Structure 1
């Protein structure tokens, strides 16, 4: 069963955050992650305000999605977003 990362991001320092976005896709690709949505228009109809950036990444399995998040490669990329963005990530098992 496939799994998805659902990320909502508010960027405080775009230049510094660019260091993260330059590294994270390579780490995600190591686990066969595929970007389905990355930025673009969005509108929150209920709940919190619309985040600046929303991202959906598809993986072949929940275990693969979780392994990617905890991988040394992805965690290294995450160091570049610490303190420069507010990030919420949920891993969701799906169809």
Structure 2
């Protein structure tokens, strides 16, 4: 079974306080769902389109585990705390 990578990029943060409230809840919710943070921060260097966006990469043992973590009540609570505090894109990608 291929590992799955949860990749998130932040196009804009409109409310840092809401983002902080989200992070306080999301980290434990993702860890409880079996996720391990591999990357969290702003790129050290960008190429191609050069978008210098905050990026998060989390690894899960499977796609099912990643989906379950995202859909869990604990993570949904974190999303509610974030509200409209950031414009983001999250993708779940299976490894090769």
With normalisation by structure 2, the TM-score equals: 0.88
Structure 2 residue aligned with 1:30: 32
Question: How much has 1:42 moved relative to structure 2?
Answer: 4.3
Match of 1:46 in 2: 48
Determine if the alignment matches structure 1 residue 86 to structure 2 residue 92: no
| Runs of 4+ more than 6 Å apart | none
Q: Distance in 2 between matches of 1:59 and 1:77?
A: 19
RMSD of the alignment, in Å?
A: 1.5
Q: Which runs of 5+ in 2 are unaligned?
A: none
SS across alignment from 2:48 = coil
Q: Normalising by structure 1, what TM-score?
A: 0.88
Q: How many residues align?
A: 94
